Amino acid sequence: MKNDQIPLPRLIVGLGNPGSEYEHTRHNTGVDFLMLLSDEWKIPMRSESRFFGMCGKGSIRDHEVRLLFPETFMNESGKSVGAVCSFYKIRPEEVLVVHDDLDLKPGQMKLRFGGGFAGHNGLKSIGQYFGNSQNFLRLRIGIGMPPSRDVISWVLGRPFGADKDATSAAFKCALGAMDVLYSKGLDRATMAVNGFKYQAE
């Protein structure tokens, strides 16, 4: 599907794990960005048991948007996304999922439609709800590879120092790109995200 055929997202999902012990860990990068987006556009979030997550409804550039943080654990994210999509009749191609990505360095991002799941349990779960379809939009935010092979400790740890600074800069760029997405379209937003290069001050 070409970018000009892809509808603007009606649902933006930020992936992460619930609970204070997981707050601001690398694996919660998606939900950290979602909460910044919620603040930026004054979209209040609240827990809704029927959707198994924190939900918000508001608008970005006069487009009605719903925000979702699945309060299931990561590998059951599809349960929450599925409940929202079923209730509001939202199609897969109208969903944007924001998530952490090991294959990108901190400060790197990619916005694209479709693609594989790259071993990400949250994406896998959502894809399973969509009948194993990969046809939804993703905002991949880099967390980098661990210096050792201990991936679990890495993704469940918190970034610090230069990595934290790079991620903060990426968040700022991505917030601007969401504005561009709803005002100027996916092509322009993709250029803003994919062309971002973090430079330490």
Residue 178 has a CB neighbour count (10 Å cut-off) of 26
The answer to whether residue 120 is catalytic is no
Count Cβ neighbours within 10 Å for each residue of 97-125 and write b for 16 or more, e otherwise: bbbbbbebebbbbbbebeeebeebbbbbb
Annotated catalytic residue, options 24, 27, 63, 120: 27
Count Cβ neighbours within 10 Å for each residue of 14-37 and write b for 16 or more, e otherwise: bbbbbeeebeebbbbbbbbbbbbb
Residue type, 8: L
Q: Can you read off the two tokens belonging to residue 49?
A: 């048991």
State the residue for tokens 């970034």. Answer: 159
- Structural contact between residues 13 and 96, judged by C-beta atoms closer than 8 angstroms: yes
Q: Which residues are catalytic?
A: 27
